Amino acid sequence: MRVLVTEDDAALRLAVDASLRGAGFAVDTAADLPQADEALSVNSYDCAVFDRILPGGDALRYVAVRRQAGWSIPVLFLTARDAVSDRVAGLAWGDDYLVKPFAVAELVVRVRSLCRRGEAGQAPVLRHADIELDTGRHEATRAGAPLTMTAKEFAVLRRLLTDAGRPVPRDELIAAAWDELVPPASNVLEVVVAQLRRKLGAPAVLHTVRGVGYLLR
C-alpha cells in the first residue's frame, strides 16, 4: 500500500513517515501543496494524508477541487483544527479526520482502513488459475491453501494479478510496492519475485519477460 503524506512540520512529517513505514506502507512525503500536487500527478496512491493549512494553501480546498473533478483517492486530514465546523468540512470532502496531537497506533489503523476502502472500489478478490487474492481481507491462496506473504509480496502479486496474462513492466511493479526512495537499479523487486515464486510453488506461474518485467501465465 502506497501513501502520500503532506505535512509542513518537518519533525512530524518524519515521525509519521517512520511510523507508516514501520507498519509496512510505502510512503512518499511532501512539505507543501505544490509538492503534493506533483507527486499525485506522477504516482498512484492508496491513500493521501494532508495537514489542513500548508504552504500553498488550504488542503481542504485543494481536495475539494480535485474531488469535483472526479478524484477518488481516500483522504485523511491530520490537523490541529478541532472545531466542529472544521471536522464537518473535512469529512464532507475527505474520508477521515484526525486531530493533533494523536496516537501513532491510531493513525496507522486509520490509514490502513482507508487504503482498504480504496481497494474495495476495485475487484475485492483477484483470481488467476488457482491463485486468489482477497484485497479486502489481505489474504492469498493457491489451490485453496493459504499463502503467508509480506506486504511487499502481496502488493507485487496484486499488481501482477490485475494484468494477469500480460507482462507488467518492472517500474510499475516497483511503484506498486515501494516509494520513490528505491533506486532504479535496486534488486529489491527481484528478491520479492524470488520469494513469491517459492511461495506459489509448482507448477510455475510467475515468469520473467526479459527486458520488460514479469507476468503471470
- pLDDT score of 20 more than 80: yes
What 3-state DSSP class applies to 92?
helix
Pair 73, 95: CB distance under 8 Å? no
Q: What is the pLDDT of residue 91?
A: 86
Last residue of a domain, one of 89, 120, 151: 120
Cβ neighbors of 54 (< 8 A, separation 6 or more) are 6, 7, 8, 32, 33, 36
Domain that holds residue 203: 125-216
Interval 133-154: pLDDT, tens:
887 777 899 999 999 888 888 8
**Total number of domains constituting the chain:** 2
Same domain, yes or no: 154 and 200: yes
Q: What is the pLDDT of residue 111?
A: 93
Q: What is the pLDDT of residue 165?
A: 82
Residue range 8-18: mean pLDDT, rounded: 93
Q: What is the pLDDT of residue 179?
A: 65
Interval 82-109: pLDDT, tens:
888 888 888 888 889 999 988 988 999 9
Last residue of a domain, one of 96, 120, 144: 120
Interval 176-213: pLDDT, tens:
777 666 665 678 889 989 999 999 999 999 999 988 88
Same domain, yes or no: 143 and 98: no
Interval 23-68: pLDDT, tens:
888 899 999 999 999 988 878 888 999 999 899 889 999 998 888 7
The CATH number of the domain holding residue 53 is 3.40.50.2300
Last residue of a domain, one of 120, 140, 166: 120
Same domain, yes or no: 110 and 172: no
Same domain, yes or no: 13 and 107: yes
The CATH number of the domain holding residue 196 is 1.10.10.10
Q: Which helix (H) or strand (E) holds 44?
A: none
Same domain, yes or no: 113 and 150: no
In this structure, what C-alpha cell is assigned to residue 70?
Answer: 472526479
Q: What is the pLDDT of residue 185?
A: 61
